[in-house]
Homo-oligomer: A and B are copies of this chain.
Amino acid sequence: MARTAYHHGDLQQQAHQQALSIVREHGDSAISLRALAKQIGVSAPALYRHFADRESLLAELAIKGFEWLRERLLQVDQNDPRQALIGIGLAYVAFAQDEPNLYRLMFGGRVLPLGVHPRLDSAGKSAFQVLEDTVARARDRGFLKPMPLSLMTATAWSLVHGLSLLTIDGHLPATESEPHLAAGVTSLLLDGAVAFPTRRTTSQNNEDTA
């Protein structure tokens, strides 16, 4: 495992690290295996001893991203249900804005579709699990309406995912310039947008969910 001129000795880890920093700075489309190999000082095919192909390398980076995201979500204080829900939302969007290129890689869809890299899929599930647990806990404590958990998590995830992508793509102002947007959006979901909520009008309930 010494580093002669021939056997590099640390290629896997170094390639991983170098590729990660390229993705974070310039996005996954800036990753070229040939250029990466040249930077490290190794021939391009050498990389194939450690990664099946370009996509598998990207999958490794996305896994790292999901682990980071999960850690950020786990740091949210879970004492008060409302604060926990808003905290998760803010932490989620903050991660996406801190790591826009990584977030796009994780959820790009075009590259790294579901079902191809099992470890990637399960890393994504683990991160999502934190959000789901938070919603479940809030519902169990009676803070949320007694609706299907899947509906509530789908709504929450859609909201933060959409807000994340729209801000990092520049369609909506980022937290930097509009500090209260993410919290406002999250609160709006919790409290509802309708002016005269509930009680009256069974007319709303007779047409939706089974």
Which chain B positions have C-beta within 8 A of A107?
165, 169
**15 A-B pairs with C-beta separation under 8 A:** A82-B194, A143-B195, A144-B193, A151-B181, A151-B184, A158-B159, A158-B160, A159-B189, A161-B165, A162-B164, A165-B165, A184-B208, A190-B192, A191-B194, A191-B198
Q: How many copies does the complex hold?
A: 2
- A46 at interface, CB cutoff 8 A: no
Which chain B positions have C-beta within 8 A of A78?
none
Q: How large is the interface on A (under 10, 10 to 19, 20 to 34, 35 or more residues)?
A: 35 or more
> Given A128-B171, A154-B181, A157-B162, 17 other A-B contacts at CB below 8 A?
A29-B110, A82-B204, A82-B208, A107-B169, A108-B108, A109-B168, A109-B169, A142-B195, A143-B195, A144-B193, A145-B195, A165-B165, A183-B208, A183-B209, A188-B189, A189-B193, A197-B197
Query: Residues on A close to B: CB < 8 A?
Result: 27-29, 82-83, 86, 104, 107-110, 113-115, 124, 128, 142-147, 151-152, 154-155, 157-166, 168-172, 180-181, 183-185, 187-195, 197-198, 204, 207-210
CA gap between A124 and B170 in the complex, in Å: 12
Q: Is A197 within 8 A of B195, CB to CB?
A: no
Q: Is B145 within 8 A of A194, CB to CB?
A: yes
